[in-house]
């Protein structure tokens, strides 16, 4: 009875761990977390300018600095 009980416990721990891993990898990412895709510094500056976070002068200064 001892070995089967140990095997049963290990089985359930592995099963639950696998299910948690599968659910977290399937539903844990947001829309902006696409693997392999990150914004370049210039894209960040463009987005911030479009959102009104920085002025046109700031955007142009950042752009000139990045394109050197």
Question: pLDDT tens digits for 12-61?
Answer: 999 999 999 998 888 776 555 556 678 899 999 999 999 999 999 999 99
User: Nearest 5°: phi and psi at 52?
Assistant: 85, 15
- Answer for the pair 68, 44: CB distance below 8 angstroms, yes or no: no
Number of CB atoms found within 10 A of residue 44's CB: 13
pLDDT at 47: 94
- Residues 2 and 19: their CA atoms lie apart, in Å, by 26
Q: What is the residue extent of each domain of the chain?
A: 38-68
pLDDT exceeds 70 at position 3: yes
pTM of this structure: 0.47
pLDDT at 18: 94
pLDDT at 1: 62
- Three-state helix/strand/coil letters over 47-66: HHHHCCCCCHHHHHHHHHHH
């Amino acid at each position: 009875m001892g070995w089967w009980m140990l095997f049963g416990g290990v089985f359930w721990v592995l099963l639950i761990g696998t299910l948690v891993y599968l659910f977290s990898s399937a539903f844990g990412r947001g829309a902006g977390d696409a693997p392999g895709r990150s914004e370049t510094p210039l894209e960040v500056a463009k987005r911030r300018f479009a959102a009104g976070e920085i002025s046109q002068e700031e955007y142009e200064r950042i752009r000139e600095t990045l394109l050197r």
